[in-house]
Amino acid sequence: MVIEIGAGSALPTVRRFGERYGPRVIRINAREAAIAPHIGTGIAGSAIDVLRELDSFSQERS
């Protein structure tokens, strides 16, 4: 799994790496979170906000 944080279209090498080598990609980006469903999941939001939400969610489930 590749977790891509904040790599927009201005950093296409980062995006291409994740899409090519990651079996699944989680893309966290405030403005450009879209990703093809067969490649991964996009989450729109700032990196810190999304990571805090994911942490909170994982704490609730443990």
Q: What is the pLDDT of residue 9?
A: 86
Rounded CA-CA distance 31/23 in Å is: 23
- Give every residue of the chain whose pLDDT is below 70, as ranges: none
CA dist., res. 52 & res. 1, Å (int): 19
Q: Which domain holds residue 23?
A: 2-61
What is the pLDDT, as a whole number, of residue 20? 86
pLDDT tens digits along 16-31: 888 888 789 999 999 9
Total number of domains constituting the chain: 1
Q: What is the rounded distance in angstroms from the CA atom of residue 15 to the CA atom of residue 36? A: 12
Tell me if 24 sits within 8 A of 48, measured CB to CB: no
User: How high is the pLDDT of residue 48?
Assistant: 97
